[in-house]
Structure 1
């Protein structure tokens, strides 16, 4: 293992796992392990899924689904922006043709 790796022990469903972790990323790994542990406990506590392997697969599916839902859909977002832009353009009055500024002339016979 290189100098830039550490080995951390994380606990998931009452089992300890030793995991290689890049130096400086320990906090993120612990957060990931805690999130996975919470999701697996939630699934186990429903009583509908048995076996750590099945619980792990269901947790992975649930977490992946949540991740994908949180990502912006670039194609969908672009289409939404284009529709909104078209609606805004159609709702705004069209800009009048630029007209020359009227010239003001003072005449001697009109008072101010």
Structure 2
């Protein structure tokens, strides 16, 4: 099968690490994409292993049993998509939780500043 040389993967990772060290101001589509990835990171971190071990394994075995070409690629892509979709409700729950927390903490912060 086709493999991506590790230098390309390391290069993209290096760009992310280096750019995170600088005060980069994003605008428009780039800013919205970066905010979405930031909101997605924690729920995705919590759920991805669960989906890899359950859904991804099941799909891989099913595709391999039916002699589908490149079952690991298709199961990997499908697992990525399902993990992202399952993370979306957690992004909404986190946004709502932070609003509630800010509403509770705002009066306390004002009292402490007085």
**Fold match by TM threshold 0.5:** no
- In the superposition, the TM-score normalised over structure 2's length comes to 0.27
Question: Normalization by structure 1: what TM-score?
Answer: 0.28
Structure with more of its chain in strand, by fraction: 1
Q: Which has the higher contact order (CA 8 A, sep 6+)?
A: 2
- Compare CA radii of gyration and give the structure with the larger one: 1
